[in-house]
Structures are given as C-alpha cells and as structure tokens.
A and B are shown apart, each in its own frame.
Chain A
Amino acid sequence: MNQGIVFKLNGQPVSYTGSAADRLLDVLRQTYRLTGVKCGCNEGECGACSVLIDGHLANSCMVAMGRVENCEVTTIEGYSQTERFQVLEQAYAAVSAVQCGYCIPGMILASECVLARHPHPSETEIRLGLSGNLCRCTGYNAIVKAIQIAAEKGEGLW
C-alpha cells in the first residue's frame, strides 16, 4: 500500500505519496504549488478549480488523488506553455474578457475543451461548454466572444 500515486503533471512524471483520498485541488495548490488552480466553492459548482485529466475537463475539488493514477493532469500552468493558450490569451485580452481573473484559469481550460470538441463552435456549443464555469465579473458575453475570436485566429490549431 505504500507505493506513491504515479501520474503526469503538466508533462512531468510525479509520484504523490500522500493519501489517495486527498483532494486533487488541495494537492495541486499545496504540494505542487500550482496556485493557478483556484478554489471557489469546493463542491463542483463553479469551475474555478478546473483542470484537464487526460484532456477532459474536471473539477479538481471533486477528484480524489487515487483517481489520477497513471493519468495526465494539466493545469493552467502547463497549458500556458502551448500555442493554443497564446491564441486564447490574445483573444480574451482583445475583448477585455478578464476582470478580476479568478475564474479565468478554469475558463481558459473550459475554452480549450470547447474548441477541442468543436473547432468552429456555435454560440450554443460555447455556452454549454462553459456552463459549469461561473464568472462574477464579465457577464459571459465577452468570454463567448473571445472563444469565437480564438476559433477564427487559431484556425487549424484545434
């Protein structure tokens, strides 16, 4: 029982030796110091803690560490090294889709999942894709617009 939980974190193999019942969110922030992952509600409602597990969007507050064994976990820190991120970053900036920024790491990863699934998303597909990510500041329209711009500017990337 004392072998660590082995997984890939932002591309690097790691082994977590704490409890399999620990929350991924807490471990990412406290053990690995990846503080781009935010805690908004701790109960799966807000999406501030979004990460990618094997490319799928997940709320890290709702994931126990044992679940990610042999998986690839990507946080905003890892994702921000990609070309896709550059496109999203510029698109979000272009329409001032970022206010306080608390929801944005999660929003960006949710945006990635929308575009990975629908490279030319309809507005409905965007809104459904973001439906688990709450933003207190921007009112969503700017974020939807940003994803539309990213889809256009990033043609061929997704």
Chain B
Amino acid sequence: MVNGFSPATLQEALEIRARHSVTPYAGGTDLMINPDPDAVYLFVNHIPEMKQIEQRGDQLHLGAACTYTQLLEHPLTPAILKAAIDLIAAPAIRNEGTIGGNIANGSAKADSVLIFFVADASLKLNSQSAERIIPIRDFYRERKQLDLRPDELITEIILPTKWLDHYYYKKVGARKALAISRVVFAGLLTWQDDVIAHCATAFGAVSGVVLRCPELDALLIGKTRSEAQAAKAGYLAAFGDMIAPIQGRVSAEYRKEVCLNLLTDFLTSNGI
C-alpha cells in the first residue's frame, strides 16, 4: 500500500519499524484528530500477538492493541479497568481506540493510563533486537516525553492483579461520556487482618503526567483503622503539597480542591 504497512505478525512489524521511519497506528482515534497527510503508518491493529489477553499467575498481560470494546467484553478484564473504559467516549471510539494508543499518546488525561499507574503496571517494549520491561512510571519522563525508542513498539501492558479488587474510581468532567477528563482519581485499598495491607492512589489531568506518590500512600500501609484515622490529616496535607495543578480552562485551585475532595472521599469510603 502507498504510505503504509500492514504487517500480519509482530516480527514483521518490528522489522519495518527498524528499517523505516513510520508512525504506529493502532486505533487512529488520537492520530486522526490532526492527521499528517505525509505520515507513513505502521498499522498494528491486526497483529495477533498484540491483541492477546492472558492471566499468568498474579499478572494480567494485555496486548497493547486491545481495543476498549475488546476489554469491556473480556471476562479477565479487572472491574477497575472496565469502570474507566465505560466512561471513555462512545461505542464507535471504543471499538477502535486501544490501550497502547492511550499510553503512547502521552496525555496525562488518558483514562486507561491512570488505572495502569495506580496498579503499578509495567510495559513491554519490543524492538527487532531487544525486549525490555519497564514500570509505567518510568515510561513518562514528562508531558509527551516518552521512553520509547524509534524502533520500538509497546507490545504489552503487564498488570499485577493482586490488589485490584477493592477500588475507588471517579472521573469529574464537564460531560459524563465524551469529555476528556478534567480530574480523574483512582484508589486501591485492601484491609488484611484489620490493618491496611495495600494503598495506592493516582490522579489524572492535574499535572503533565499522572501523579502517583507511593511514598505518601506508604504512610497508611500497615496501619490499623484508628491509626489510619489519626494519620489522615497528615496524609491529606502531604498530597495537598504534592498537587500543583496545571493551568487550564478549569482553574488550578478548583482542580486541586477536587483532587483533595476525591482523596478524602476515597478514605471515608474505606472507613478512614
């Protein structure tokens, strides 16, 4: 085809990626908003190795070219990810849009990316000569600055599933479905034997990248309910210092207040 490659296998795709200057095209739902008429696309939407969904032990492996619809309909997709996908756009966009595209587009407003952050997911990046697996947090250097080499593709998202069952997810946007989120929050908290065994939080759309501060969430881990209640004010204050919202159409102060309200609600809903 003219100005494009449509490889049938991952190996073929990686060969093309190594030899030509191409733009990966998964669902096109970000690319086609401002299409570059001179782009040479590498279509990855048909590559079977990038569409698999497989649980291996405590880890769920999601092919980067899985569409939102595919994930919504799959029994292995964790409820927290389905909750986020449910609020992404409308059916036609969900039929085409992929999680790999959401990640590689590099926006801090990307809704599935938030879930991958709170879950401490890793990305599998492949080139013809190498494969590397890196934590999603390391993939984003800053806004639109990705740790992706020109010969690499994101092939898989590796999601640890152990702590995903007890989740809190809220998207505060102008319109429920079609709005690219203004503020999104996801939290995970698991009690074991009356102490907090796991706590993780992530904020989307407040800074250039998703905000995830495991060192602050660690303030609550190992605490009993009463200890956690005593630590609550300090925990909220620490996040208050951390959240420096970007200036956008919604005022920075408003965003910050929403973030802290969501964090408070997350704690309250867990009895803290």
Contact = CB atoms under 8 A, between A and B. Distances in A.
A64 B2 contact: no
B201 interface: no
Given A20-B1, A21-B3, A64 B95 contact: no
Contact of B28 (A18, A45, A63): A63
A61 B31 CA distance: 11
A47 B92 contact: yes
Nearest to A2: B2
A70 B39 CA distance: 21
A13 interface: no
Interface in A131-150: 131-133
A40 interface: no
Contacts of A2: 2
A45 to B, nearest CB: 7
B50 to A, nearest CB: 14
A87 interface: no
A52 to B, nearest CB: 10
A43 interface: yes
A131 B177 contact: yes
A67 B28 contact: yes
A27 interface: no
In the complex, which of the residues B36, B43, B90, B93 has the most CB atoms of chain A within 10 Å of its own CB atom?
B90
Contact of A66 (B37, B43, B89): B43
Contact of A132 (B32, B36, B40, B93): B93
Interface string A27-51: 0000000000000000111010010
Contacts of B32: 23, 44, 61-64
B35 interface: yes
What's the interface size class on A, roughly? 35 or more
Nearest to B90: A132
A82 to B, nearest CB: 20
Contacts of B29: 44, 62
A3 interface: yes
A17 B1 CA distance: 7
Interface in B1-40: 1-6, 25, 28-29, 31-33, 35-40
Contact of A19 (B2, B28, B31, B89): B2
Given A47-B90, A62-B96, A67-B28, A5 B35 contact: no
A56 to B, nearest CB: 4
B224 interface: no
Interface in A57-112: 57-59, 61-67, 69-70, 110
A155 to B, nearest CB: 24
Interface in B196-255: none
B128 interface: no
B92 A58 contact: yes
A129 interface: yes
Nearest to A69: B6
A62 B93 CA distance: 8
A15 to B, nearest CB: 10
A4 interface: yes
B91 interface: yes
A66 B91 contact: no
B37 A21 contact: yes
Contacts of A64: 4, 25, 28, 31-32, 35, 41, 43
Contacts of A1: 1-2
B45 interface: yes
A58 B27 CA distance: 10
Given A64-B28, A66-B43, A67-B43, A50 B1 contact: no
B96 A5 contact: no
Interface of A: 1-5, 17-21, 23, 43-45, 47, 50, 53, 56-59, 61-67, 69-70, 110, 113, 128-129, 131-133
Interface of B: 1-6, 25, 28-29, 31-33, 35-41, 43, 45-46, 69, 89-93, 95-96, 177-178
